Amino acid sequence: MSTLRDRAIHYGYAIGWRVAGAMPQRLVTMIILKVSDRVLRHDGIHVRTLRRNLSAATGRPATNDLVRLALASYLRNLYEVLALPSWPPRKVIGCVLTEGERQFRATVAARGAVVALPHSGNWDLTGAWACLTRLPVTTVAEQLSGGAFEAFLHFRKRLGMEVLSHRDPAAISKLVEAVRRGRVVCLLADRDLEGRGLPVEWRGRPITMPAGPAVVARRSGAALVPLISQYTPCGMKIIFGSPVEPRPGREGLVWMTQQVADFFAERIAEQPEDWHVMQPFFDRTDRAA
């Protein structure tokens, strides 16, 4: 049974998806700049956590300018998620540049692919672009409250994606089966939501990352491919990493996941403002609390 809060969330997103696409871009830009500046001045817990994450990701204290850019990038992502259903296919395809796409498509054709990506840029736009360019996507969404999950489930299905709940006990088997049906499995792979991930390092800092991408790739025989999306002034760039070769055993899963972590860390350090992680990430004590 849905609660009043669930219904409010559902209808809130529904209204946003109807209205956002009609907003003038100049107005959107002005709102994003004003809101990001105000949120920075307020310096709430999420802003402070974001600052710590950016400092660790870059290896130097995050300045106010960097945090402001990161907040603006986060708000740009939120606006685009609301506006995406109203974008015609030519706009989705036209705003995306790629790096390494030819090799990636050859890999998909040869053996299939499990894509691991961080919370950077706009991963929903990445999925929409993939579906529109003959790369049908199956993914997993974090199941929060009923209202938010159902709203985003409908939203991603409208973009062409097949979506599973992260609470589905058969999710791994369904993802393996999706690869065998010729679909590209795309999994957000930086945050360890369940706290049962594999121990790896991020620029020398111990963290844990989810094992799912490496497990699905190894079971299905598909290539494990890291990917990151980063904003450009007029659109977004999707960067495909080199396929990670499978290795056996738990040590093999850790090694495979470490290769993904290394790709994420290198690319995020180059453009940290597009990494939208406002939850504790590097401080394992905080994350367990």
* Cβ proximity of 114 and 213 under 8 Å: yes
Structure-token pair, residue 29: 């830009």
Read off the DSSP letter of residue 212. H
Query: Pick from 174, 173, 80: which is nearest to 128 by CA?
Result: 80
The pLDDT tens digits for 239-268 are 999 999 999 999 999 999 999 999 999 999
With a cut of 50, which residues of the chain have pLDDT below it?
1, 285-289
At residue 156, the pLDDT reads 83
CA distance 50 to 277: 6
What pLDDT shows up at residue 6? 54
Please give the Cα distance from 265 to 246 (Å, whole number): 21
The count of domains in the chain is 1
Give the predicted TM-score (pTM) of the model: 0.90
pLDDT at 3: 58
Per-residue pLDDT at 287: 44
Residue 213, domain extent = 4-288
Q: How far, rounded to the nearest angstrom, does the alpha carbon of residue 79 sit from its chain's CA centroid? A: 15
Output the six-digit token pair for 279.
């939850």
Q: Going along the chain, which residue ranges are E strands?
A: 96-99, 113-117, 137-141, 162-165, 184-188, 198-202, 205-209, 223-232, 235-240
List, for residues 45-79, the tens digit of each pLDDT value. 999 999 999 999 999 999 999 999 999 999 999 99
Structure tokens, 48 = 């402070």
Task: Specify the DSSP element, H or E, that contains 249.
Answer: helix 249-270
